[in-house]
Chain A
Amino acid sequence: MTEKRPTNQLTGRGGSICLALVLTGFAYAQERTMPASPSAFDPHDISGFWELYFDGQRVPRAQLTDAVTKAVLDAQAAKDAKAVRWCNILGMPFLMGVNRPLDIRQGKREIVIAPESAVATPRHLYLDRSAHINADVWDPNTVGDSIAHWEGDTLVVDTIGFEPEHGMTAIPGGGFRTADSRLVERFRLLKNGSLLSVMFTWIDPKVFRTPHTYEFRYTRAPRDYEARLPVTCDPFDEERTRFLTGSPQSGNSARLR
């Protein structure tokens, strides 16, 4: 017994050290590993499929400046109609209102919003930078440059850098986006994470007398939701062209215009 004791003590200490090392390794590995099971409602994670229902929009009329005359609005509407007719990428704010669920995925450094639409590119909301891309480097587009940060339980997204001649520029409630527009969005989860509220505020002194704010509320899709392919958009579809333009001309004629 006496002879065995040191061995047992050694084995015991070695075992403890071994166990401690294994546990340390286990903890380290676990720290770098995503949770295997779905976590409870996290107010700082907006990942999911989100659907905008018919009663999910509260949009007041925008207060437009005097410079935004009926002629200006008509010209803008004509450009938007052309973008739809030719299946252009429509961009913001159209994509936040598509009639299919938005796939919103929140990573470590950015949040991506992918609409089920053939005419909208995904949005990238960057969490890892606090300044916009320098205008000398930025190539304006239909979704703009978005940076995001959390203020309490609200995700605040600031977007500038829109391409005024591309896409559908109409803003819900009136007005349109321009190269100078700034959009501030406030994302917040409601009702135990089953609703996502987004407050949109457009700021553009040339278009709006006061910042124009409206709210969309999205409903979380079931966990087993399967994303579908977007409906394709064919600018050379004659029937579609006749419908959109009200013209008896065929698509072939339209193609040559």
Chain B
Amino acid sequence: MIALLKTAAVVFIGFSAVQAQQVPDLEGGWTRLDTAGGGSYGGVDALFPRAVLTPEAAARIPPPAAPRLSFAENRVHQVGEPYIVTDGGCGGATGFGGVDVNSAAFFIVQTKDEVLITRENPSGRHIYMDGRKHPDSSRWAPTNGGHSVGRYENSELVVDTTGFTNGRVAFGNGLRSPESHLTERYKLSPDGNRLTVTYTWSDPKIYQKPHVYDISFERHPKGSYPIENWCDSGDPKQRQSIVPPEQVP
């Protein structure tokens, strides 16, 4: 009887361990949902919880960046005064797709060694699932995306990222540094069509308490495909200027 109970206990523990690693099926395309009714990228951001920063970190928040070209001047232009709408720049690939989540879709593919997240532009976020540790900071040049390792826990994908460059966090007026840790928990709805990612930023030098927010996504239907985010800095139409017309009274 005791032997049987011991066997059952061992099997049960094994079962629990396996169950804890159950793999949610995250594979496919996902589009962000505006569940809070923000109405726009900025509007959605305004609804996120504000980060509670340490006084030292709050003093580090940089002033808004100067506009690159006049299209961002935010002033009324006089009749006949031409101004540039866009500089035609396409921006550079940062190789990251997980934190600054805009309305463009992202795509997940899961393998035993890595979860790969891509977007509709040149991109690739690598989440290592093979048990490796974060590289020592002496061997890692900080990046915007940092270094990510993941595991499955209670049917959720849990990702830990560190090694960021100093900068802002996309939402909630937060900051990040090479020592900051971002924990993401990817949780599927029971029907598998809704994905909620909970973001937790931790860094005692920056936050008085962890900065937490979540974002929801909707699964793309079967047969969907990525729309290539085409941008040509050499296309004159992408550097269009506007000449405000004379106003008719």
Seen from chain A, the residues whose Cβ lies within 8 Å of a Cβ on chain B are: 8, 11-12, 15, 18-19, 22-23, 25-26, 29-30, 32-36, 38-39, 47-48, 82, 85-89, 103, 105-112, 114-122, 124, 128-129, 133, 138-139, 141-143, 145, 163, 166, 223-224, 226-227, 229-230, 232-236, 255
- Point out which of A88, A89, A103, A121 has the most chain B C-beta atoms below 10 A from its C-beta: A121
> Once the chains bind, are A121 and B120 in contact (CB under 8 Å)?
yes
Query: Shortest Cβ distance from B247 into chain A, in angstroms?
Result: 29
B120 contact set on A, CB distance < 8 A: 121
Given contact pairs A30-B18, A47-B114, A122-B107, a sample of 13 additional A-B residue pairs in the complex whose CB atoms are under 8 Å apart: A8-B1, A19-B8, A29-B15, A32-B22, A38-B130, A89-B231, A106-B109, A109-B28, A114-B123, A118-B92, A166-B230, A224-B132, A227-B95
> Once the chains bind, are A25 and B23 in contact (CB under 8 Å)?
no
CA–CA, A191 and B55, complex, Å: 59
A30 contact set on B, CB distance < 8 A: 18
Is residue B89 contacting chain A, with contact meaning CB distance below 8 A? yes
B110 contact set on A, CB distance < 8 A: 34, 105, 107
Choose one: A22, A115, A128, A230; the contact of B11 (CB below 8 Å).
A22
Is residue B45 contacting chain A, with contact meaning CB distance below 8 A? no
**25 A-B pairs whose Cβ atoms sit less than 8 Å apart in the complex:** A15-B1, A22-B11, A23-B11, A26-B11, A29-B22, A30-B18, A33-B23, A34-B21, A34-B112, A39-B112, A85-B234, A105-B116, A107-B27, A108-B27, A111-B109, A115-B124, A121-B120, A121-B123, A138-B225, A166-B230, A229-B143, A229-B145, A230-B93, A235-B233, A235-B234
Evaluate whether A226 and B135 lie within 8 angstroms (CB atoms) in the complex, with A89-B228, A107-B110 already known: yes
Choose one: A23, A109, A114; the contact of B27 (CB below 8 Å).
A109
CA–CA, A34 and B23, complex, Å: 7
Evaluate whether A116 and B124 lie within 8 angstroms (CB atoms) in the complex, with A19-B7, A235-B234 already known: yes
Is residue B204 contacting chain A, with contact meaning CB distance below 8 A? no
A109 contact set on B, CB distance < 8 A: 27-28
> Once the chains bind, are A89 and B92 in contact (CB under 8 Å)?
no
Is residue B36 contacting chain A, with contact meaning CB distance below 8 A? no
Choose one: B4, B122, B145, B230; the contact of A19 (CB below 8 Å).
B4
Is residue B19 contacting chain A, with contact meaning CB distance below 8 A? yes
Interface residues in B137-187 by Cβ distance below 8 A to A read 143, 145, 147
Q: Tell me the dominant secondary structure on chain B's binding face.
A: loop
Is residue B232 contacting chain A, with contact meaning CB distance below 8 A? yes
> Once the chains bind, are A143 and B228 in contact (CB under 8 Å)?
yes
Is residue B25 contacting chain A, with contact meaning CB distance below 8 A? yes
A82 contact set on B, CB distance < 8 A: 234
> Once the chains bind, are B225 and A227 in contact (CB under 8 Å)?
no
Number of A-B contacts (CB under 8 A): 166
B121 contact set on A, CB distance < 8 A: 89, 121
CA–CA, A227 and B230, complex, Å: 24
> Once the chains bind, are B25 and A117 in contact (CB under 8 Å)?
no
> Once the chains bind, are B130 and A145 in contact (CB under 8 Å)?
no
> Once the chains bind, are B11 and A229 in contact (CB under 8 Å)?
no
A38 contact set on B, CB distance < 8 A: 112-113, 130
Query: Shortest Cβ distance from A100 into chain B, in angstroms?
Result: 11
> Once the chains bind, are B21 and A114 in contact (CB under 8 Å)?
no
B123 contact set on A, CB distance < 8 A: 114, 121-122
Is residue B237 contacting chain A, with contact meaning CB distance below 8 A? no
A142 contact set on B, CB distance < 8 A: 228
A47 contact set on B, CB distance < 8 A: 111, 113-114
> Once the chains bind, are B227 and A25 in contact (CB under 8 Å)?
no
Is residue B226 contacting chain A, with contact meaning CB distance below 8 A? yes
Residue of A nearest to B116 (CB): A105
Is residue B243 contacting chain A, with contact meaning CB distance below 8 A? no
A128 contact set on B, CB distance < 8 A: 222
B223 contact set on A, CB distance < 8 A: 129, 133
B135 contact set on A, CB distance < 8 A: 226
Evaluate whether A114 and B116 lie within 8 angstroms (CB atoms) in the complex, with A22-B11, A32-B23, A47-B111 already known: yes
